[in-house]
């Protein structure tokens, strides 16, 4: 491995949204960590040679390969606005794994830390949970920038707003350069789009054959994995219909496409369980994932300041 190569260690890896985007941006993933057994199987199909830890609580910092960039999309269940009832925030069993991730970061101090979560993190416990995340990185010595990015601004037919937090060790200006573009000039990276709330009219455009079908919205609502209102994907808002009255939810292939993954990305080479269970597992995994195109954009922004990062 080249000494000046940007390497990547991934925690809460899911089905590899960050990893796929980073691979396209020329970052090399050297470590994975994912507890979900089904997601592990998908990761091992696409990154056969990369070690994959099963539980972040059992990870020892000394065993994580050297990596310039660490990513951690810690579980969103306890901070998500889609959750029914009171949100536990960072006190919750799932989202509270942020503290374990921060502990490992503190032990290693990688040059760049990238955190992703639902935009509900901004409001959880009236903003206190978000403040804890920022303060934790600050205490560890990271200069921090954050931004809400929407998948629809990266060529994906889904309005999916997520907050991304970048910490660069001792360099807040560099963190800002990664997430925010200067005034456009020739040679700049593509713009990351707006963080604004989307108007209702965005979802009113219909595509398809009006006589024969199928018909669907040109822009999908955010695909969730944890909402109590559905199983697999929020198909009460995302669905396909036909002029004669038939309505169906998006197929798993359609959901993969709406989330920006290649067809059959989540199709395991072997599965011994119930086929119906497999479909549910695939829906759930895609709904929990990071849009690869957004990860690629951030990855390219990291590459653009590569010399500065490696000099830290």
Which CATH number fits the domain that encloses residue 17? 3.40.50.150
Q: How far is CA 168 from CA 144, 178, 295, in A?
A: 7, 9, 17
Domain membership of residue 18 (yes or no) is yes
Q: Both 213 and 301 in a single domain?
A: no
pLDDT number for residue 235: 56
pLDDT number for residue 225: 56
Q: Both 128 and 48 in a single domain?
A: yes
Angle at which helices 17-24 and 37-46 cross, to 10°: 20
Domain membership of residue 93 (yes or no) is yes
Q: Both 133 and 258 in a single domain?
A: no
Please report which confidence band the pLDDT of residue 231 belongs to, taking 50, 70 and 90 as the band edges.
very low
Q: Both 137 and 266 in a single domain?
A: no
pLDDT number for residue 134: 95
Positions marked active-site: 76
pLDDT at 228 over 60: no
pLDDT at 17 over 50: yes
pLDDT number for residue 26: 96
pLDDT number for residue 157: 95
pLDDT at 232 over 70: no
pLDDT number for residue 182: 77
Which one has a higher pLDDT value, 190 or 272?
272
E strands, 174-286, are 206-208, 215-217, 239-241, 247-249
Which one has a higher pLDDT value, 217 or 229?
217
Domain membership of residue 167 (yes or no) is yes
Q: Both 15 and 158 in a single domain?
A: yes
Report the share of the chain in percent with pLDDT over 90: 65
Residue 209, φ and ψ in degrees, nearest 5 = -85, 110
Please state, rounded to an integer, the average pLDDT across all residues of the chain: 86
Domain membership of residue 236 (yes or no) is yes
Q: pLDDT tens, 61-90?
A: 999 999 999 999 876 554 445 544 555 555
- Average the pLDDT over 236-259 and give the result: 91
Determine the structural domain holding residue 114 and report its residue range. 7-194+291-310
Specify whether the CB–CB gap between 243 and 210 falls below 8 A.
yes
Domain membership of residue 104 (yes or no) is yes
Q: Both 47 and 79 in a single domain?
A: yes
pLDDT number for residue 2: 58
Q: Both 146 and 82 in a single domain?
A: yes
Q: Both 116 and 232 in a single domain?
A: no
Domain membership of residue 61 (yes or no) is yes
Q: Both 37 and 105 in a single domain?
A: yes
Q: pLDDT tens, 152-197?
A: 999 999 999 999 999 999 999 999 999 998 755 444 445 555 445 5
pLDDT number for residue 238: 87
- Average the pLDDT over 271-285 and give the result: 87
Domain membership of residue 39 (yes or no) is yes
Q: Using the Cα atoms of residue 122, residue 125, residue 127 and residue 128 in order, give the sign of their dihedral.
A: negative
Domain membership of residue 1 (yes or no) is no
Q: Both 133 and 282 in a single domain?
A: no
pLDDT number for residue 173: 97
Number of domains into which the chain is organized: 2
Q: Both 20 and 98 in a single domain?
A: yes
Q: Both 95 and 68 in a single domain?
A: yes
Please report which confidence band the pLDDT of residue 93 belongs to, taking 50, 70 and 90 as the band edges.
low
């Amino acid at each position: 491995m080249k000494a000046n190569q940007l390497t990547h260690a991934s925690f809460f890896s899911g089905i590899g949204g960050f990893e796929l985007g980073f691979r396209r941006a020329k970052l090399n993933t050297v470590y994975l960590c994912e507890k979900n057994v089904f997601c592990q199987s998908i990761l091992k199909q696409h990154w056969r040679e990369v070690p994959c830890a099963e539980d972040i609580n059992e990870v020892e910092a000394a065993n994580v390969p050297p990596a310039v960039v660490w990513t951690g999309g810690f579980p969103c269940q306890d901070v998500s606005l889609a959750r029914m009832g009171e949100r536990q925030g960072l006190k919750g069993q799932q989202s509270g794994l942020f503290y374990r991730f921060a502990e490992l970061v503190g032990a290693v101090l990688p040059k760049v830390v990238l955190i992703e979560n639902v935009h509900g993190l901004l409001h959880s416990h009236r903003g206190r949970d978000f403040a804890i995340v920022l303060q934790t990185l600050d205490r560890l010595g990271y200069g921090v920038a954050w931004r809400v990015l929407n998948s629809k601004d990266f060529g994906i037919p889904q309005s999916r707003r997520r907050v991304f937090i970048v910490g660069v060790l001792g360099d807040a200006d560099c963190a800002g350069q990664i997430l925010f573009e200067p005034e456009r000039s020739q040679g700049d990276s593509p713009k990351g789009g707006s963080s604004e709330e989307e108007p209702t009219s965005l979802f009113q455009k219909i595509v398809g054959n009006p006589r024969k079908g199928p018909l669907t919205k040109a822009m999908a609502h955010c695909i969730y994995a944890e909402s109590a209102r559905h199983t697999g994907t929020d198909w009460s808002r995302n669905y396909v219909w036909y002029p004669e009255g038939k309505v169906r939810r998006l197929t798993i292939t359609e959901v993969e496409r709406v989330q920006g993954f290649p067809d059959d990305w989540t199709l395991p080479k072997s599965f011994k369980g119930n086929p119906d269970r497999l479909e549910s597992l695939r829906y759930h995994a895609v709904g929990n994932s990071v849009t690869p195109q957004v990860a690629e954009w951030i990855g390219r922004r990291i590459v653009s300041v590569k010399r500065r990062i490696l000099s830290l």
